[in-house]
Amino acid sequence: MEFKLVEKKKNLIKIEIEESDETLIYPLIHELLEDKNVKDARYSTGHPQLDKAVLTVVVKDGKPQAALKKAAKALANQFVETRQLIEKQL
C-alpha cells in the first residue's frame, strides 16, 4: 500500500491509498471510530478501475494525523499481542 496526502485541514485529512488492503483498512477505521476525539472516519473506493481509495478522518479535537497515528499504533499492538499468543500456544 502507498499513501498520498490529498487534503489537509485543521480538523480533516484525506489520504489516497494505492493498492489498498481492506483487511487492514477496516480495522483501522474501527480503531479511529473508537477514539473520542474522532468525529468521523470514512473509506471510499469509488470505481474500482478509475478511482483510488480515499481514507477521510475528521476530528472534534486535536490533529487528524495524530488520531491516525494513534489508531495505527493501537492496531499494530493488537497484532503483536496476537502473534505472541499464537507463538506461546504453538
From 42, 37, 24, 32, select the one nearest 71 (Cα to Cα). 32
The domain limits of the chain are: 2-89
What's the confidence (pLDDT) of residue 23? 85
Question: Is the domain defined by 2-89 classed in CATH 2.60.40.10?
Answer: no
Tens of pLDDT, residues 5-16? 999 999 999 999
What's the confidence (pLDDT) of residue 32? 97
Burial of 25 (0-12, 13-18, 19+ CB in 10 A): middle
What's the confidence (pLDDT) of residue 37? 96
What's the confidence (pLDDT) of residue 12? 97
Tens of pLDDT, residues 14-61? 999 888 778 889 999 999 999 999 999 999 988 877 888 999 999 999
Which cell is 69 given?
497515528
